[in-house]
């Protein structure tokens, strides 16, 4: 009796119906196929990036014979010399940079020759973005060089060579006391300020464009990466013209343009647009009465608004 129960239990436990047997069979086939593919992988894919090292016997070098081994070694040497790329980075003006310096910046011989040929035909770069139009210039290389491009503004009376040796550091230059109007200064004027390099120059100009100009020196603290020590150093070298900032026509500007301003967001722009639709034009007192801005934020925003 006990034996029959055990036998019945084992039969029921290990018994598979037709669907279960089919499933097990398919699973076994898949396992076999995957195992076979794993074995065939090395044969299907060859490593094309492997490097073959060639050893040349001294006797062969002395004989001076143009053997296949010597030709292969020459080809390897030429390939290695062609792959060498300079990583030098320095401030340069694409309108005056020499072909040799262009190659030091990472441009190929063909690309640097294209640059010189473009200039010889009367071509000129008016802003850093114009360099992207140079035929054959990789976008990755432009992004690396963008912070080092300085094109003197034609309004500036300050003339100087904008190509510096890579070993020269800004910290070691002798600075003269210069006061710059930060809202109208070009990149060349800003980069010459003590403690400011190409990276900070690019950030200041970018944030100035987004704001429409600075109406307070303290706004420079909002520039990404600005430390207290750099701000103190910079504040003594600049001045502000409040009349040079770009105003926001608060009663005419559209929703998408308003929310892109650094001092507005999606919610505040929507509140202003909805108010105009329901109540008409805004005034300074109406902006204050909206209740969506703190007193500190209002001090920043109000100078930019025109009604």
- Chain centroid, CA 155 distance in Å: 29
CATH number of 170-244: 1.10.150
pLDDT tens, residue by residue, 30-80: 999 888 888 887 776 554 444 444 444 545 444 444 445 454 445 544 444
- What does the pLDDT read at residue 172? 46
Length of the chain: 307
Angle at alpha carbon of residue 175, lines to 171 and 179, rounded to 5°: 120
Q: How far is CA 7 from CA 13, 16, 20, 21, in A?
A: 10, 15, 21, 21
Secondary-structure breakdown of the chain: helix, strand, coil percentages, each rounded to the nearest 5: 55, 5, 40
Split at pLDDT 50, 70, 90, the class of 85 is very low
Average pLDDT, the chain: 78
Strand boundaries in the chain, DSSP class E: 180-181, 238-239, 248-249, 305-306
| In the predicted structure, residue 175 carries a pLDDT above the cut 70 | no
pTM over 0.85? The answer is: no
pLDDT tens, residue by residue, 181-235: 999 999 888 988 888 888 889 999 999 999 999 999 999 999 999 999 989 989 8
Domain ranges of the chain: 2-44, 85-168, 170-244, 248-306
Nearest Cα residue to 79 out of 114, 57, 115, 54? 54
Is residue 75 within a helix (H) or strand (E), and if so which, with residue range? helix 68-83
* Percent of the chain residues past pLDDT 90, beyond the cut: 28
Nearest Cα residue to 263 out of 302, 235, 228, 224? 302
CA dihedral 100, 103, 105, 108 (to 10 degrees): 160
| In the predicted structure, residue 8 carries a pLDDT above the cut 50 | yes
Domain 85-168 homologous superfamily, CATH: Photosystem II 12 kDa extrinsic protein (1.10.150.320)
- What does the pLDDT read at residue 153? 63
- The neighbouring-strand residues paired with 239 are 181
* CATH topology identical between 85-168 and 170-244: yes
Of 133 and 278, the structure prediction assigns the larger pLDDT to 278
- What does the pLDDT read at residue 218? 92
- What does the pLDDT read at residue 31? 92
- Chain centroid, CA 231 distance in Å: 24
- What does the pLDDT read at residue 44? 67
- What does the pLDDT read at residue 176? 55
Averaged pLDDT, 256-281: 92
Contact 116, 99 (CB under 8 A): yes
Averaged pLDDT, 275-285: 91
| In the predicted structure, residue 166 carries a pLDDT above the cut 70 | no
């Amino acid at each position: 009796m006990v034996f029959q129960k055990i036998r019945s239990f084992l039969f029921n436990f290990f018994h598979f119906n037709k669907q279960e047997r089919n499933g097990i069979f398919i699973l076994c086939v898949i396992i076999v196929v995957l195992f076979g593919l794993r074995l065939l992988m090395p044969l299907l894919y060859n490593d094309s990036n492997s490097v073959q090292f060639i050893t040349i016997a001294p006797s062969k070098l002395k004989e001076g014979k143009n053997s296949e081994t010597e030709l292969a070694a020459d080809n390897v040497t030429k390939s290695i010399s062609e792959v060498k790329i300079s990583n030098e980075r320095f401030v340069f003006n694409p309108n005056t940079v020499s072909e040799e310096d262009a190659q030091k910046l990472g441009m190929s011989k063909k690309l640097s020759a294209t640059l010189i040929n473009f200039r010889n035909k009367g071509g000129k770069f008016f802003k850093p973005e114009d360099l992207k139009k140079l035929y054959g210039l990789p976008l990755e290389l432009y992004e690396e060089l963008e912070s080092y491009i300085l094109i003197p503004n034609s309004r500036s009376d300050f003339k100087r060579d904008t190509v510096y040796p890579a070993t020269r550091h800004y910290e070691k230059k002798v600075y003269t006391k210069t006061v710059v109007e930060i809202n109208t200064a070009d990149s060349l004027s800003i980069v010459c300020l003590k403690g400011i390099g190409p990276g900070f120059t690019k950030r200041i100009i970018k944030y100035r464009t987004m704001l429409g100009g600075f109406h307070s020196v303290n706004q420079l603290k909002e520039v990404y990466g600005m430390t207290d020590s750099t701000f103190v150093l910079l504040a003594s070298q600049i001045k502000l013209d409040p009349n040079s900032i770009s105003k926001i026509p608060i009663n005419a500007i559209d929703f998408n343009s308003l929310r892109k301003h650094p001092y507005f967001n999606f919610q505040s722009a929507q509140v202003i647009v909805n108010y105009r639709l329901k109540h008409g034009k805004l005034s300074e007192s109406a902006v204050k009465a909206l209740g969506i801005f703190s007193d500190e934020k209002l001090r920043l925003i109000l100078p930019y608004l025109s009604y």
